[in-house]
Chains A and B, each alone.
Chain A
Amino acid sequence: DVKVTQSSRYLVKRTGEKVFLECVQDMDHENMFWYRQDPGLGLRLIYFSYDVKMKEKGDIPEGYSVSREKKERFSLILESASTNQTSMYLCASSFLGLSISYNEQFFGPGTRLTVL
């Protein structure tokens, strides 16, 4: 069974803390993604990676960085957490599309982060 797991379901941090959100997939997917989900805004792409050590900015990368040292693991880092980063964070993975046919993105259960 396909699986994307995220390290925590709920996380509470203080303003200024460094925060690590971990995502692991067991499907040997090349692509991995980090989104944040906010009411009324839907899902917005923060960063994605199409290979180990490769990354590209998504639509809202400010205040975030990522790390992909192994194919199965993709980490989202908040260098100095702020209250406006309180949100639901979703990780996803997919195969690298080699043609116009789409390869489904599989999502993890999400991490609800609260920054106080």
Chain B
Amino acid sequence: GNSVTQMEGPVTLSEEAFLTINCTYTATGYPSLFWYVQYPGEGLQLLLKATKADDKGSNKGFEATYRKETTSFHLEKGSVQVSDSAVYFCALIPGGGSNYKLTFGKGTLLTVNP
């Protein structure tokens, strides 16, 4: 079956630190990969996505590269801000067939201190 494994949190960083949140996946075919973010008290928002191998998704200073050889999609940001404090979810849609059902990881809580 399809599954997403992301690093367990919580992750606590100081402002301007480098962020990595690891994500690996198991899926049939060639999945599309996503990072969603959930700010306190809100629903999820799409942060970035990549739909084929070696694609790099980027948004708001965050980046993730689709690595088929390692089945990974790690989220990175060079310098985090307090406003980046949120829960981050890695997710996939498997290739072919049901191309609208997301499978999520369990989420990683990030806290950035000033």
Contact = CB atoms under 8 A, between A and B. Distances in A.
Interface stretch (A38-46, A63-71, A75-83): A38-46
B101 interface: yes
Interface residues on B, range: 20 to 34
Choose among A31, A41, A42, A100 the residue with the greatest number of B CB atoms under 10 Å from its CB: A42
B96 A108 contact: no
Nearest to B45: A107
A15 interface: no
Interface stretch (B63-71, B72-80, B103-111): B103-111
Interface of A is mostly: loop
Interface string B44-56: 1110010100000
B102 interface: yes
B43 A103 contact: no
Nearest to A9: B41
Interface of B is mostly: loop
A97 B44 contact: no
A45 B32 CA distance: 18
B59 to A, nearest CB: 12
Given A42-B105, A100-B95, A101-B51, A31 B43 contact: no
Contacts of A43: 44, 89, 102, 104, 107
Interface residues on A, range: 20 to 34
A115 interface: no
Contacts of B104: 42-44
Interface of B: 32, 34, 41-46, 49, 51, 89, 93, 95-96, 99-102, 104-107
8 contacts: A43-B89, A43-B102, A90-B43, A97-B99, A99-B99, A100-B95, A105-B44, A107-B45
Given A42-B89, A45-B101, 7 more contacts: A43-B44, A58-B101, A92-B43, A99-B99, A102-B93, A103-B100, A110-B42
Which 7 A-B pairs rank lowest in CB-CB distance, beginning with the nearest? Answer: A107-B43, A42-B106, A97-B99, A107-B44, A43-B104, A42-B104, A102-B32
Interface of A: 4, 31, 40-45, 48, 50, 58, 90, 92, 94, 96-97, 99-105, 107-110
